[in-house]
Amino acid sequence: MPLNYLGTLLVDGTDKTPGWFYIKNYGTPLLAAVLAKMYLNGSSNTWQRDLHGKVYIVTGGTSGIGAPLVRELALRGAQLVLLTSQLKSDNSGAVWVTDYVDDLRNSTDNPLIYVEECNLSSLYSVRKFATKWLDNRTARRLDGVICLASERMPIGKSRQVSVDGVEMQMAINYLGQYHLLTLLEPCLKAQPPDRDVRVILATCMSQSIGTLDLDDLLWEVKRYPSGRPWKMYGSSKLMLHMFAKEYQKRLENAGRKDKQPCNIRVNVVNPGITRTPSTRRAISMGSVLGLLVYLLLYPFFWIVLKPCEYGMQSFLYALCCPDLIDISGGQYIRECSVVKTKLRKELQDDELQKNLYDLTARKISELEKKSAIERNRGKPDGNKKKDKRQKKDEMQKKDKKGLTEEDKRGIFMSAFDTEDELQNYKARNANTDDAHSTQLRRLDEKYEATHKKS
């Protein structure tokens, strides 16, 4: 069919060629749009890596770039632990998450996909998950942590805060990721020296407009820029990038007990401008009218914005490229290649990165202490130490005959001549009335004898 069409065009000319009018008028713009789309989709990862047996923790793996990336990793055989905040006590999101994981397992033929509760906007929730993960006699296998979770507020919205009182973008994009990785550090360090461990953090071009103020790190004093929320978003991404570079340096300086070189690589990936739910929300300004405008202009956004399947390519490159294990971590990856150009001055200032890391650690400690006080404030019986103290006081109280509970317990134990007799009593006759009566009689005799001596 194409050959016949080309033959007609060459032999009979354009007048005899069907549809030449449309080709003449619309062909050039359509071809330009196709070429622009191919260019704006960016580079694709060409590295292949077998991930069978490897274990990855993934944040933000249920939507946006995370959804196709998780599917690709599952197809390659990886065991995945997806962290989500949807497993709430009211079970409102658990049904959806369950269906999502079941569909993912069935479509990839990979049953090793699990979900754990971890709300990055809550430092307490992050610590609960990390404690659960680390609470193992031998260190669990962990080949990497992929941090994709992100929050982007639309323009015009008022300041939203987390349960710890931190601005939501800062809490999820920076503070939660920082807390998770620093808590998982013992597990990362415990991996064998021949294991290729990779930590990947997501950033974007918005970090170029971010600012850093160590005197007001979490924007607690400064007014929230509701008219320019991308400034807060960019600041959180800038701080996350600085943390990644400092985190890599600390992992390398800490060394390993077996004196082997550090096998952990922490890299930052910029996927480009991608058509994610957070991007759509930012463009539509979180309003129905904005959504309508977005839908009307969707052909334009379809061309200029990457689909998530192409946005994930740089993350695949960061996971699969074998060259990255041979160079130092803290690299900035974009379009499936390491960026060699000079970055912002904050990303080259080692002392500033160290100060940011230490200050963030202190801020998290303060917030966790404050959060613990708030959680314990409403408990009716106080804390466990108070309960133990009350129980001890009750044990030391004397009855009318001047005997404490401890004295009575000692007298009861003395009713048994040997330890074996006590154990046999507990195992054989603990619930029988006859044995109970017999021991009570012996106890009474001992008690009376002791009372007469005193």
For residue 400, pLDDT beyond 60: no
237 assigned to active site = yes
Query: How buried is residue 279: exposed, middle or buried, by Cβ count under 10 Å (0-12/13-18/19+)?
Result: buried
What would the pLDDT profile of 147-187 be if each residue is shown by its tens digit?
A: 999 888 888 888 889 999 999 999 999 999 999 999 999 99
- Torsion 357-360-362-365 (CA) sign: negative
In angstroms, the CA 320 to CA 51 distance is 9
Q: Higher-confidence residue: 73 or 412?
A: 73
| Phi, psi dihedral angles at 438 (to 5 degrees) | -65, -45
Of 108, 129, 132, 113, give the one whose Cα is nearest residue 56: 113
Average pLDDT for residues 335-347, to the nearest whole number?
89
Residue 159: count other Cβ atoms within 10 Å of its Cβ.
15
Question: For position 145, what pLDDT does the model report?
Answer: 96
Q: What percentage of the chain exceeds 90 in pLDDT? A: 44
Convert the chain into a string of H (helix), E (strand) and C (coil): CHHHHHHHHHHCCHHHCCCHHHHHHHHHHHHHHHHHHHHHCCCCCCCCCCCCCCEEEEECCCCCCHHHHHHHHHHCCCEEEEEECCCCCCCCCHHHHHHHHHHHHHHHCCCCEEEEECCCCCHHHHHHHHHHHHCCCCCCCCCEEEECCCCCCCCCCCCCECCCCCEHHHHHHHHHHHHHHHHCHHHHHCCCCCCCEEEEEECCHHHHHCCCCHHHCCCCCCCCCCCCHHHHHHHHHHHHHHHHHHHHHHHHHHCCCCCCCCCEEEEEEECCCECCHHHHHHHHCCCHHHHHHHHHCHHHHHHHCECHHHHCHHHHHHHHCHHHHHCCCCCEEECCEECCCCCCHHHHCHHHHHHHHHHHHHHHHHHHHHHHHHHHHCCCCCCHHHHHHHHHHHHHCECCCCCEHHHHHHHHHHCCCCHHHHHHHHHHCCCCHHHHHHHHHHHHHHHHHHHHHC
Question: For position 83, what pLDDT does the model report?
Answer: 94
Residue 341 tokens, joined: 């150009």
Question: For position 11, what pLDDT does the model report?
Answer: 64
In angstroms, the CA 318 to CA 145 distance is 12
Query: How buried is residue 194: exposed, middle or buried, by Cβ count under 10 Å (0-12/13-18/19+)?
Result: exposed
Question: For position 179, what pLDDT does the model report?
Answer: 96
Using alpha carbons, list the distances in angstroms from residue 344 to 171, 215, 272, 308.
23, 20, 18, 27
Question: For position 93, what pLDDT does the model report?
Answer: 72
Question: For position 206, what pLDDT does the model report?
Answer: 87
Question: For position 167, what pLDDT does the model report?
Answer: 92
- Residue linked to tokens 């990336």: 69
Average pLDDT for residues 357-376, to the nearest whole number?
91
Domains of the chain: 55-372 (3.40.50.720), 390-453 (no CATH)
301 within 8 A of 294, measured Cβ to Cβ: yes
Average pLDDT for residues 260-273, to the nearest whole number?
92
Question: For position 451, what pLDDT does the model report?
Answer: 63
- Across 314-328, 347-361, 385-399, least confident range: 385-399
What would the pLDDT profile of 316-325 be if each residue is shown by its tens digit?
A: 999 999 999 8
Crossing angle between the packed helical segments 66-75 and 313-320, to the nearest 10 degrees? 40
Residue 80 tokens, joined: 């995945």
- Across 27-31, 78-82, 254-258, 409-413, least confident range: 409-413
Question: For position 268, what pLDDT does the model report?
Answer: 95
204 within 8 A of 340, measured Cβ to Cβ: no
Catalytic residue among 24, 157, 231, 237: 237
